[in-house]
Chain A
Amino acid sequence: MVPSKESVQSAAYSDCTVSLQIGSVCCALKCKDASEYDLAKRLYRDFLTEQPADLTLELEMTSRLKPDDVSEALPETIFTHENGNRFRTSSQIISGRYDLANRIISITAEKSLGDPDMEFNYINRLISLAYYSACKVKYDGNPPAMLVHACGIIRHGKAIAFAGPSDTGKSTIARLCGDQHGEVLNDEMVLISRPDQSGNGISAQSAPIISDISPRCNKAAPLHCILLLKRGDRTVVHNIDKAEAYLRFMRQIITPVYIGQKSGRAVYTLMADFSSEVIDAIPIYELEFNLDGEALWQVVAELE
C-alpha cells in the first residue's frame, strides 16, 4: 500500500522528533535533520519515551563556529535573557526564543556542543531549563522533583545521593562504584522528588544529564540518605547541624528557573521549601572524602 502524502509527511516529522522523559515530564526534541536526530537519540537513548510531550524543543544546529572556538568560548559563556521572549548565551553558541503559552522553545545551538569531547554543561543547562519549563506548564511552576548537583548510586534497592560542588569527588565515586558496589544513576545531577501527597517518601531518579562517566540509565529508587561531600585527608562520615545541612543541601539544587523567569523570591522560596521537606524526611551527613574507594564503601555500608 502506498502511503498518502499526508501520512508520509507525518512520518518524516515523527522520525525527526525524539521525546525525552525527564522525571515526570516529557520534552519533545524536534530536530531539523536526521543527523541531529541521530545525535539526540544517541545522547539520550535511555530516556526516550512515547508519552505525549509537555513541552516541545525545536532544535536547530549550526556550524558558525569551529569546535576549537566553541571550546575556547565555553568557560566565559553565560546565559542571558533578552527583552521579550528571547534568550542567548554571551558567546552566541546558543540562542533561542520561547512561547510557553504554546509550550514551545526554539533553540539554535552550535553543533559541536554535542561532540563527545566537548564539555556538556551547556546542553545540560538546556535540559534543566527545559525540565523546569515543562514543570511550569504541567505543574504551574511547582516541580514535583528538583535537579540536584549530586552523584546518585543505587545500592540494595535504595539510592544514596553524594551531593557537592565540582571537584569534591562525585565523578570519582561513580568511577569507584564499578559494577560491584552499586548502580550509578548519574555522576553530575539527579532528580530528587518531594514527598507526594499520599505521603510516599522521597526518591532519587536519573535524568538525561550527560557526563563522561555516567551510563545514562533511567532508574529511580527510594532515597536512603544524602551525603554532602567535602574533600579531606581521610574518608569519614560526620553528623552535621541541621541548619548547616539545610543550607549546604540547598546550594546544590539546580536553580529551578523556567525559561524567561528571573531568579528571585519565587525561585528561592521553592528551593527553601524543597530543602525543608528533604531534610525533614531524609538523613543528611557530611562525607569527608579522600578519594579512597575501600574506605568509601566501608563508611557507606555502615550507614545502610
Chain B
Amino acid sequence: MNDDERGRMMTVGRIVQAEDVIWRRIGDEIVVIKDDGLATHVLNKTAAFIWEMCDGKCGIDEITSRLCERFDVSFDEASTDVREIIEKLIELGIMNQIEETAGG
C-alpha cells in the first residue's frame, strides 16, 4: 500500500480496539493489557481520548473532529496526531482498522 492509498484508507476506515486486550482508565491515562498478560501499554491523555473513541463506529475524520473540540486545536494539527497515534496503536497490535473502501 503506498502513502496515498494508506491515507485514503485511514480517512474512511473505522477503527476498533483489538478484541484481545483489557483496558482501564487510570486518571488521565489508559492502561492497555494484552490478555496474555505479556504486554502492557500506557496511553497518554491524547491517545487515551482517541482510544475511547475507537469503538468501531467512528472513522478517522470523526475522531479528529472530536479531538479538535476537546483540545481546541486545528483540524490539520489534530489530523496528524490522530493518524500517527492510530498507526502506532495498530502497529502495537492493540487496535485494528475495519477495512472499507470509499464507496463501501
Contacts and interface: CB of A to CB of B under 8 A. Distances in A.
Contacts of B42: 243-244, 247
Contacts of B37: 255, 263, 267-268, 271
Contact of B26 (A242, A263, A265, A273): A242
Give the secondary structure class of A's interface: helix
Interface string A247-269: 10000000100000001110111
A243 B30 CA distance: 8
Contact of B33 (A242, A255, A263, A272): A272
B27 A243 contact: yes
Nearest to A244: B42
A263 to B, nearest CB: 7
Q: Chain B binding site: helix, strand, loop or mixed by DSSP? A: strand
A264 B29 CA distance: 24
A264 B35 contact: yes
Interface residues of B, number: 13
B32 to A, nearest CB: 10
A276 B24 CA distance: 8
A265 B29 contact: no
A194 to B, nearest CB: 15
B89 interface: no
A11 B24 CA distance: 52
A276 B26 CA distance: 8
A246 interface: yes
Interface string A78-120: 0000000000000000000000000000000000000000000
Contacts, number: 40
A242 B29 contact: yes
Interface size bracket, A side: 10 to 19
A279 interface: yes
A243 B47 CA distance: 14
Given A247-B31, A268-B37, A279 B26 contact: yes
A275 B31 CA distance: 11
A265 B20 contact: yes
A246 B28 CA distance: 13
A212 B22 CA distance: 37
B29 to A, nearest CB: 4
B20 A246 contact: no
A272 B24 contact: yes
A211 B38 CA distance: 28
A265 B27 contact: no
Contact of A247 (B27, B35, B40): B40
Given A247-B40, A263-B37, A275-B24, 9 more contacts: A246-B26, A247-B31, A247-B42, A263-B36, A264-B35, A265-B22, A268-B22, A271-B37, A272-B33
18 contacts: A241-B29, A242-B27, A243-B29, A243-B31, A244-B42, A246-B24, A246-B26, A247-B42, A265-B22, A265-B35, A268-B35, A268-B37, A269-B22, A272-B24, A272-B31, A275-B24, A276-B24, A276-B26
Interface of B: 20, 22, 24, 26-27, 29, 31, 33, 35-37, 40, 42
